[in-house]
Amino acid sequence: MLLEFIIGILLVTVVYLLVKNLQWNFRFEKRVENFLKRRETQIRQDAINRSARTLSGKTLERFVPFLDSFGYNPHDVRWLGDPVDLIVFDGYSKNKESGEGMKQIVFCEVKSGSSKLSSIQSKIKSIVEGKKVRWEEFVINK
């Protein structure tokens, strides 16, 4: 009899906790839904603004080699976009056949305003500055 009473109490407790959990989940979902309804316009506008900044930045990166202040011949530049914006084969356009006149290869990241290097870009910078760059050929046999 005592065992049945304890089992009954445990069952009632479990059912009570399940009902409370459902109530808490329902309240939480309602709060999130209300929050999103109140802030949807702002959230959407923020997403549009971020997208526009990203697209304009990617577009501007392609025009940087043509600025007078850039310092390299635009014909020596190759655009990568990610994770580094540009690679400059400084002097390449002087003699494309032999490469005579080519002085250096420059990894170039274009930034504007207060933007900073991403963690992967910082790592790439560290690797290049540490001279941990090498040449490798991959030959496919016929």
CA distance linking residue 104 with residue 63, whole number of Å: 21
pLDDT at 139: 93
Amino acid at site 4: E
| Cα 109 from chain centre | 14
d(CA 58, CA 51): 11
Which residue ranges of the chain lie beneath pLDDT 50? none
Q: What is the pLDDT of residue 100?
A: 82
**What per-residue confidence (pLDDT) applies to 96?**
77
Query: What's the DSSP call for residue 64?
Result: G
Element (H, E) at 78: strand 77-79
Sign of the dihedral defined by the CA atoms of residues 63, 66, 68, 71, in that order: positive
Specify the pTM: 0.62
* pLDDT score of 29: 94
